[in-house]
Amino acid sequence: MFSDDTLMTANIVALGIPIKDPQGCVVGWEQLPDSTMVRYLMSTLGKDEDFGEEVTLHHTADEGIDIARWIDKEIEEKQKASRGD
């Protein structure tokens, strides 16, 4: 539970807290986004998406890429995001 609270707080710090007008447009900030926290989150939590400090190649040009598997993975990730997982 502590980890979840910490991650939620880190997301708030990274993304900031916008002030929105009645139409939902951002007109200012209660808390400005923090670029350092964005970089930290991307380099740690984004490692699987290759946002880390080091680049790791999972395939070589000789091996090729399984396009069907890649498409299935992309669809699955978009479905998770839409469900809020």
pLDDT value at position 35? 84
pLDDT value at position 38? 83
Q: What is the pTM of this model?
A: 0.44
C-alpha distances out from residue 26 to 16, 18, 30, 34, 60, Å: 11, 6, 11, 17, 43
Tens-binned pLDDT, residue by residue, of the chain (85 aa): 766 777 777 887 888 888 999 999 989 989 888 888 888 888 787 777 766 666 566 666 666 677 888 889 999 998 888 887 6
Residues 26, 2 contacting (CB under 8 angstroms): no
Distance CA 57, CA 76 (A): 22
pLDDT value at position 22? 93
pLDDT value at position 4? 72
| Helix residue spans in the chain (DSSP H) | 2-15, 35-44, 67-83
